[in-house]
Amino acid sequence: MAGGFVSQTPGVRNYNYKLTPKVFVTCFIGAFGGLIFGYDLGISGGVTSMEPFLEEFFPYVHKKMKSAHENEYCRFNSQLLTLFTSSLYVAALVSSLFASTITRVFGRKWSMFLGGFTFFIGSAFNGFAQNFAMLLIGRILLGFGVGFANQSVPVYLSEMAPPNLRGAFNNGFQVAIIFGIVVATIINYFTAQMKGNIGWRISLGLACVPSVMIMIGALVLPDTPNSLIERGYTEEAKEMLQSIRGTTEVEEEFQDLVDASEESKQVKHPWKNILLPRYRPQLIMTCFIPFFQQLTGINVITFYAPVLFQTLGFGSKASLLSAMVTGIIELLCTFVSVFTVDRFGRRVLFLQGGIQMLISQIAIGAMIGVKFGVAGTGNIGKSDANLIVALICIYVAGFAWSWGPLGWLVPSEISPLEIRSAAQAINVAVNMFFTFLVAQLFLTMLCHMKFGLFFFFACFVFIMTIFIYLMLPETKNVPIEEMNRVWKAHWFWGKFIPDEAVSKGAAEMQQKSV
């Protein structure tokens, strides 16, 4: 493709590159890893609202759902039902810790392949499930797949993308997640209208399709230059870098990658070293960003949108349709981040999205409180119901161009090579742990906290927006291996970064400019 580009960020290296078809294709295929996560996020909530599925595995919940005297807030409250959804994320948490070693030793692509393979086996268990035990085994296998994919794909995309476009390419992972959610909600809408048990079986069994896509994609993908250097394939790494950058003038970037790899090899215990003060910014961010991402409350919408809409008085078909609409809105708005994250930066999107989510959540909680009160009784009119759906769409849009994609992008781009696999494993583990907690506790929290649950999540959105404003420096256009300069310049994190972590790079830059 025409045109060369040079990073203009002051204080960091400038790398020459062109936008090549190869980098587009590899990042597009690599982003397939998000499909399996997204499909599961979208499919589980719809399936748990299908009457044949509830009759088969959760008859107690089905009986409560049909009761005319049940409190609206507590209609779906069941720890066993939420375990069906949340068990996946415990498995993903555990597998992400193993995945960091596989990603480092064998490369990013084989971690992606293993994720697709285990997800495929899990989809078969779920599609042919005859009892709750088969469902649970299937969910655990799906979780292993999600853990491997979520650990490797964001790192793969960040390492393959040019520095000035790393945000846009990495956000392809979030686009794939949301696309998977939309496809799942569409499938749920049609399978819910099928008679008998065939509908939910098709919904769960079709998870094999995105898993096959990621397996095939992993087989044809090249590995990243960073990973090749890390595993001793220096010449292949240089050729790959030239191929994806569209130029033979890659000496400066290649040498930076080699230097970073040499430094990383001196770190024998990345899990121990990430606890050192010099890596304190990365450790805090890889813990707090996924923590806050889940406490936005987005998975209340993603997991249980059909259940939530039925709680608000929607019919079964209307609730699935409303969930499909919110999914499409989220997909379209994710592209806003793709096209703006490298222009306006991470902080602007984080802060704007946080404010938008905060206002809409307060409005949703207030409306539900007025209509249902604390007792959970009452009716909601069509116009009010449509307004709530609109407010949910505004909330989802704010998440889609801020905490959704950036929650994966920022942790994957801020860590030096010597701790990158460990940092990403922590990121995924924290994300999956709090995803599990939200999934497991939401229906119980809704039953006990009522409309106050939305104010609960709004409080966290307020706290995380302040956190980003104070603690996260801007990282757009900064090469991954030069990220220490950003932390050193920060008002708080600078004291943790030793001078030699940036002075070495400055000396090298000065030497090369002579």
Instruction: Give 426-486 as a 3 state SS string.
Output: HHHHHHHHHHHHHHHHHHHHHHHHCCHHHHHHHHHHHHHHHHHHHHCCCCCCCCHHHCHHH
Alpha-carbon torsion angle 375, 459, 334, 389, nearest 10:
20
Residue range of the domain that includes 203 = 21-223+267-499
Asked if residue 448 belongs to a domain, the reply is yes
pLDDT value of position 439: 78
279-287 average pLDDT score: 95
Asked if residue 439 belongs to a domain, the reply is yes
List % helix, strand, coil for the chain (3-state, nearest 5).
80, 0, 20
259-274 average pLDDT score: 78
What is the number of structural domains in the chain? Answer: 1
Sign of CA dihedral 161, 165, 167, 169: negative
Among 14-18, 31-35, 220-224, 490-494, name the most confident range: 490-494
User: Mean pLDDT in the chain?
Assistant: 83
Look at 399 and 77; give whichever has higher pLDDT: 399
pLDDT digits 0-9 by tens, 227-242: 898 888 889 999 998 8
Asked if residue 5 belongs to a domain, the reply is no
The pair phi, psi for residue 185, each rounded to 5°, is -70, -35
pLDDT value of position 396: 92
Residue with tokens 């268990």: 125
Exposure of 443 in the CB half-sphere (CA atoms within 13 A)? 30
User: Which residues lie below 8 Å from residue 347, measured CB to CB, with a gap of 6+?
Assistant: 468, 469, 472, 473, 474
Rounded Cα distance between 466 and 485, Å, is 23
Confidence of residue 507 (pLDDT cuts 50, 70, 90): very low
Confidence of residue 272 (pLDDT cuts 50, 70, 90): confident
Q: Report yes or no: 31 and 153 within 8 Å, Cβ to Cβ.
A: yes
Residue with tokens 């397939």: 32
Residue with tokens 């970037």: 253
Q: Can you tell me whether residue 346 is helix, strand or coil? A: helix
pLDDT digits 0-9 by tens, 284-330: 999 999 999 999 988 777 655 666 666 555 656 666 777 778 888 88
| pLDDT at residue 342 greater than cutoff 80 | yes
Rounded Cα distance between 394 and 326, Å, is 9
C-alpha separations of 320 from 139, 189, 366, 395 in Å: 22, 6, 23, 18
> Mean pLDDT lowest for which of 55-69, 116-130, 357-371?
55-69
User: Both ends of the chain: CA-CA distance in Å?
Assistant: 32
Confidence of residue 510 (pLDDT cuts 50, 70, 90): very low
- H-only helix segments in 345-416: 346-372, 382-400, 403-413
| pLDDT at residue 506 greater than cutoff 50 | no
pLDDT value of position 151: 85
Rounded Cα distance between 161 and 480, Å, is 10
pLDDT digits 0-9 by tens, 110-154: 989 999 999 999 999 999 999 989 999 999 999 999 999 888 888
347-370 average pLDDT score: 93
Asked if residue 512 belongs to a domain, the reply is no
Residue with tokens 């959105």: 461
13-37 average pLDDT score: 81
pLDDT digits 0-9 by tens, 445-499: 877 888 888 899 999 999 999 999 999 999 988 887 788 889 999 999 999 999 8
Confidence of residue 69 (pLDDT cuts 50, 70, 90): low
Asked if residue 257 belongs to a domain, the reply is no
Asked if residue 511 belongs to a domain, the reply is no
16-45 average pLDDT score: 83
- Kindly report the CATH number assigned to the domain that includes residue 481: 1.20.1250.20
Rounded Cα distance between 66 and 338, Å, is 43
Token pair, residue 122, equals 């899990």
pLDDT digits 0-9 by tens, 71-91: 666 766 677 877 887 888 889
Q: Report yes or no: 188 and 306 within 8 Å, Cβ to Cβ.
A: yes
Q: Report yes or no: 104 and 423 within 8 Å, Cβ to Cβ.
A: no
Asked if residue 504 belongs to a domain, the reply is no
pLDDT value of position 4: 39
Asked if residue 118 belongs to a domain, the reply is yes
Task: Fill in the amino acid letter for 233.
Answer: Y
Query: Pick from 469, 259, 432: which is nearest to 350 by CA?
Result: 469
pLDDT value of position 445: 83
Q: Report yes or no: 440 and 83 within 8 Å, Cβ to Cβ.
A: yes
pLDDT value of position 489: 92
